[in-house]
A and B are shown apart, each in its own frame.
Chain A
Amino acid sequence: MRPVSGERKTRKRPLSGTGFAPFIIRRLLTSIILVFGVTFIAFSITQLVPGDPVAANLGQSAYSDPEIVAAFEKEFGLDQPVPVQYYKYVTNLLQGDLGVSLSSKRPVAEDLKEYFPATLEIALIAVLLALVVGLLLGIISAVTRDRLADQIIRVFSLTGVSMPAFWTALTAFYIFFFVLGWAPGTGRLEPGGEAPPTVTGLFTIDALIAGDFSTFRQAFSYLLLPAVVLAIYAIGVLTRFTRASMLEILGNDYVRAARAKGLPEFTVIRRHVLRPALLSIITVAGVAFSSLLAGSVLVENVFSWPGLGQYAYRAAVGLDLPGIMGVSMVVATVYITMNLIVDILYRIIDPQMKDSA
């Protein structure tokens, strides 16, 4: 387009311009800084508050033996000054070494490799469920604004975000396991059940890869209830957010302009409202996903689900700094990566909307 008089702004399409690569590099750098920020803050806060990891990890009698205590401190580097500990932690981290867990006495990286996929499996299902249901309800709610359907959905979604997850888990378990007998018990597989050969760590996927359908069915039946419970909060969040962003976009001039053309309401919603709304919904879905990882602490506790949440709980109670840092970093990395992906998607899908967003 030639510049015309009265030019207000000109903007190049994203990928053809020079702006895209620097943008990604900039964002990547900030992401890395953020991850280190997370380690720093986790480290500082856990150091600032009083608490004795030695006492938390050694039994009573061992703790009263100064020799054992000294050996324990030496083994985990707790005898060093704090800045040295942090320096060591970070230099090790740069080599991919997350340290050794005080509570499990195993390398944290190995622990995470074991526990993270379990949580990922339920979180993925939960987020998918939440996306489908939340979007649908949110759209219906916005379109029927203030009418009966909207009122019902609003109460429903507010209830979703108001339910204490641990209680929901308990109640669901009682009903579907104890009363109805539909759900299998706790854990990822039946007692003595054999996990499929590890590829991804997600039992359902690994079972499919191994072609083992009975294990697949079993793994799936075990994860369904925790996943649904986990999804409830996310459904509430997404429904509310979808409704809000739809309503916001419905108030835009360009929607009024679309209506002024006499288009059917369905077309207006689908073509003119939903598209821009989806952009902002993607953002929330990304954030919701990482909050699911963290939210799994309470749900996993009830279902004895051997995931990141359980691990985090044990690490926290044991004042197991490397463990806590490991979990924090996994969740933070997922959060940061999600944001990064969303930002990039934003730029690709829609170079124009950035000003208004």
Chain B
Amino acid sequence: MSAILKKFKRSKSANSIWRQPLAVVGIVIILTWTILAVFAPWIAPYDPNAQDADKFLTPSAQHWMGTDELNRDIWSRIIYGARISLPYSLLLVFLSATLGSIIGAISGYAGGKVDSFLMRVTDVFFAFPGIVLAMAVAAALGPQIRNAVIAVTIVAWPVYARLVRGLILNAKQNDYVTASALLGSSALRTMVVDLRPNLSGPVFVLASLEVGNALLLLSGLSFLGLGAQPPAAEWGSMVSMGAVNFDRWWVGLFPGLAILTAVLAFNFIGDSLRDALDPRTAKALRD
């Protein structure tokens, strides 16, 4: 059986990530945001789009984080913002991990010309300034959070492709793949049945490390006006309101802190997961 997955599983149960303080902090933060997002209508003190307060109220007992230019309660908007930022970053990571894994799997399994072609393409994407391409795609598709997700997916898959290809090349040298090839398994079967368990662990860890980056890129695009559009309560575009009114510190500060805590939490978790992996895979993840 796959050594990597065994290690991964074992480290998950026995060397549990619950014993790593940073991971626990991360999990607690993400749980908190999840609860806030799910129960937003009950938790948020105000309607996120209601414009019934005064404009630019400083933080107070009524409005914990003050109000913005359009008289809206910032804390309520941040709570609703979790409904955009978290699911879309996860979706983005899921999409790019899937796309990248497929490309990497084809590349690693096929080998030869296909492999070198796909790896050249991957190299090109690595050389590419991701955010520039993402901006262009987002602008072309029209500024919408959905399009921003597509745009970032297009630039975010290569890391997974490289990882999966490397893992497959490693696994190919293992006996069981050769054995199953000898027994006449089809390529697809070999890939799905024999290799998948080997790959899912590291890919999962890489994905967990990438959620934070995804959130940063998405909210960055929104900050630039290329992601979620007003009046949607999205953290990045809320910060951009703070940029226009930078003397009202609370307008940009709190949504930014929301991004920071969520990204940090994901990174805490991803980092701890990686440390729980065996060193060789961990190194493959770093490079």
A–B interface present (Cβ within 8 A) = yes
Show the binding face of A for B, using Cβ within 8 Å: 33-35, 37-38, 40-42, 45-46, 49-51, 56, 154-155, 158-159, 161-168, 170-171, 173-174, 178, 241, 244, 248, 251, 290, 293-295, 297-298, 301-302, 312-313, 315-319, 324, 327-328, 331-332, 335-336
From the candidates B120, B131, B239, B264, name the one contacting A294 in the complex (CB within 8 A).
B131
Expressed in whole angstroms, the minimum distance between the Cβ of A90 and any Cβ of chain B is 15
Within the assembled complex, what's the spacing in Å between the Cα atoms of A54 and B40?
42
Known: A164-B239, A294-B132. A241 touches B286 (CB 8 A): yes
B contacts with A: majority SS: helix
Q: Closest B residue to A293 by CB, please name it.
A: B129
Q: Distance in Å from the Cβ of A152 to the closest Cβ of chain B?
A: 12
Q: How far is the CB of B137 from chain A (nearest CB, A)?
A: 5
| Chain B contacts with A in 113-142, Cβ cutoff 8 A | 120-121, 123-133, 135-142
CA–CA, A171 and B257, complex, Å: 11
Interface centre among B124, B140, B256, B259 (most CB of A within 10 A): B140
With both beta carbons as reference points, the residue of chain A lying nearest to B251 in the complex is identified as A170
Q: Is the CB of B260 within 8 A of A302?
A: no
A306 to chain B, nearest CB (A): 16
Q: Which residues of B contact A316 (CB under 8 A)?
A: 132, 135-136, 138-139, 226
Q: Are A162 and B128 in contact (CB under 8 A)?
A: no
Is there an interface contact between B139 and A164, defined as CB atoms closer than 8 Å?
no
Are B239 and A332 interface neighbours, CB within 8 A? no
How far, in angstroms, from A293 to B283 measured CA to CA in the complex? 26
Known interface pairs A33-B120, A159-B264, A328-B129; A167-B135 also in contact (CB < 8 Å): no
Query: Closest B-chain residue to A236, C-beta based?
Result: B267
Pull 28 A–B residue pairs with CB atoms less than 8 Å apart, ordered by A: A33-B120, A35-B127, A37-B120, A37-B124, A41-B128, A42-B133, A42-B136, A51-B140, A158-B268, A162-B263, A164-B216, A164-B223, A164-B239, A165-B216, A166-B240, A167-B256, A167-B259, A168-B256, A170-B242, A174-B247, A248-B283, A295-B131, A316-B138, A319-B139, A324-B133, A331-B128, A332-B129, A336-B127
Residues of chain A within 8 A (CB-CB) of B18 are none
CB of B219, distance to nearest CB on chain A (Å): 6
Q: Which residues of B contact A294 (CB under 8 A)?
A: 129-132
Which residues of B have CB within 8 Å of A168? 256
Contacts of B141 in A (CB 8 A): 49-51
Contact B139 A162 (CB under 8 A): no
In the complex formed, the residue of B with least CB distance to A241 is B286
Q: Which residues of B contact A46 (CB under 8 A)?
A: 136-137, 140
Give the distance in Å from the alpha carbon of A47 to the alpha carbon of B57 in the complex.
Answer: 46
B247 touches A164 (CB 8 A): no
Chain B 94-126 residues near chain A, CB threshold 8 A: 120-121, 123-126
Contact B140 A164 (CB under 8 A): no
The residue in chain B whose Cβ has the minimal distance to the Cβ of A155 is: B22
A233 to chain B, nearest CB (A): 9
Q: Which of A35, A165, A167, A301 has the most CB of B within 10 A?
A: A167
Interface membership of B69, Cβ < 8 A:
no
In the complex, residue of chain B having the shortest beta-carbon distance to the beta carbon of A297? B131
**Please, which residues of chain A bring their CB within 8 A of the CB of B142?**
51
| A244-B286 contact given A38-B128, A158-B264, CB 8 Å threshold | yes
Q: How far is the CB of A34 from chain B (nearest CB, A)?
A: 6
Q: Smallest distance from the beta carbon of A148 to chain B beta carbons, Å?
A: 13
Q: Using known A-B contacts A37-B124, A154-B22, A328-B128, determine if residue A164 contacts B286 with beta carbons closer than 8 Å.
A: no
Of chain A, the residue at the smallest CB distance from B147 is A49
B202 at the interface (CB under 8 A from A): no
Cβ-defined contact, B259 with A51, below 8 A? no
Other A-B pairs beyond A49-B137, A302-B243, A331-B128, 6, CB < 8 Å: A38-B124, A41-B125, A49-B141, A171-B253, A241-B286, A313-B224
**Are B132's CB and A324's CB within 8 A?**
yes
Choose among A171, A251, A302 the residue that contacts B279 (Cβ–Cβ < 8 A). A251
B66 at the interface (CB under 8 A from A): no
Q: Cβ of A34 and Cβ of B123 under 8 Å apart?
A: yes
Residues on the B chain within 8 Å of A244, using CB = 286
Chain A residues near B140 (CB-CB < 8 A): 46, 49-51, 319
Does any Cβ of A come within 8 Å of B227's Cβ? no
Question: Contacting B132 at CB < 8 Å: which of A51, A155, A161, A327?
Answer: A327
Q: Are B252 and A170 in contact, with the CB atoms below 8 A?
A: yes
Q: Is B48 interfacial (CB 8 A cutoff)?
A: no
- Bound complex: CA of A163 vs CA of B255, how far in Å? 12
In contact, A163 and B252 (Cβ under 8 angstroms) = no
B39 in the interface (beta carbon within 8 A): no
Residues of B within 8 A of A301 (CB): 223-224, 243
Tell me the minimal C-beta distance from B95 to chain A in angstroms.
16
Contacts of B130 in A (CB 8 A): 294
Q: Is the CB of A166 within 8 A of B239?
A: yes
Q: Which residue of B lies closest to A317 (CB)?
A: B139
Q: B220 contacts A165, CB within 8 Å?
A: yes
Tell whether, in the assembled complex, residue A164 and residue B236 are in contact, meaning their CB atoms are under 8 Å apart: yes
Residues of B within 8 Å of A315, CB to CB, are 136
- For B263, the closest partner residue in chain A by CB is A162
